[in-house]
Structure 1
């Protein structure tokens, strides 16, 4: 025979469940796989997939996860390979936080007013509005994996860069400046 729960206990059990359900329903969905329709969708991007760009500096960048291509609003994911002696111009992002992972190589990271030696395995969080740059001071290529939050800044590379294998885009300084302004990129 089933025991009957006291009314107070039943109220607490279902009342709290309702409060938690209402609370969590109002929270924004977070995660790598949030689509533009706010449905959770997983994706996998393989080694040779993505958008492969040569930047204005002729540096190869692979955009693996992007807002425009995958509909993910919260975060993008990219990879850049820098030759020995290459320098990333000091800049800041007005609209995006950046997370940088040194996958291979070594260099000097400029972060705010600090110069920090980095090597394989180092991770740096760069809050929006923080000056930063990276110099490959090693004798081998430096490969960094980086992501922007929220997603969207990766489109800066697509607009300014050239797809690998295509003739280089001819752009004026004014066009570069307008694109930088559009995406909240400020150079020092």
Structure 2
């Protein structure tokens, strides 16, 4: 097999070969990176402040629990990627089933009322003013054994999981949406929602 004089020169002097062809490869890679950075579609971003008053937001009645919740701001409606913000009323005798999120961290603030919070294998009494950080992958649920509503304020990071409620719930004032067990399972998979006891 014949080897060209140019190739032999590179074999004999690998440093010269690297300098000649290595820098060309590095330059091409940097150019491609710059091209992607310059012309790639920018992420959704809202750089304007948002104010949502008490009566405002997207009001939803959840399908299975019939709980009333409000999405105050979201990725879909406001272009916010970092976090979403919601409220929910849990009436006496009802509970939020134990579940975990695969893709989102959650912060829960008990604005009013008192209940029993489940965190993995622990149960904790919570009341007005309690704040809880729930990392993704941690089982959690909330029960209201009392006589007054629990007003729960919560947010997801990153934003996006709030669309799970939109798909499974019904906007207040509209005919109640009906969904099959298979449709619920599809949205659970889509948004990384896992119930400890399958529903």
Smaller-chain TM-score bracket: 0.7 to 0.9
1:49, distance to aligned residue in structure 2 (A):
1.1
TM-score by length of 2: 0.75
Instruction: Point out the structure with the larger helix share.
Output: 2
TM-score by length of 1: 0.80
Aligned-residue CA RMSD in angstroms? 1.3
1:10-45 Cα deviation digits (max 9, x unpaired):
xxxxxxxxxxxxxxxxxxxxxxxxx95545210101
Question: Which structure has the greater CA radius of gyration?
Answer: 2
Q: 1:47 aligns with which of 54, 57, 61?
A: 54
- Matched residues in 1 for 2:119 and 2:175: separation? 34
Q: 1:170 aligns with which of 175, 178, 182?
A: 178
1:176, distance to aligned residue in structure 2 (A):
0.3
Match of 1:185 in 2: 193
Instruction: Give 3-state SS (helix, strand or coil) of 2:97's partner.
Output: coil
Q: 1:85 aligns with which of 69, 81, 93?
A: 93
CA shift in 2, pair 1:143/1:121, >3 Å = same
1:101-154 Cα deviation digits (max 9, x unpaired):
000000000011110000000000000000000001221000000000000000
Contact 1:95 1:184 in 2 (8 A): yes
Summarize the alignment of residues 105-184 of structure 1 with structure 2, pairs less than 5 Å apart.
Answer: 105-184=113-192
Contact 1:36 1:72 in 2 (8 A): no
Instruction: Give 3-state SS (helix, strand or coil) of 1:176's partner.
Output: helix
- Matched residues in 1 for 2:144 and 2:174: separation? 26
Contact 2:88 2:151 in 1 (8 A): yes
- Matched residues in 2 for 1:36 and 1:111: separation? 34
Runs of 4+ off more than 2 Å: 35-40
Contact 1:67 1:76 in 2 (8 A): yes
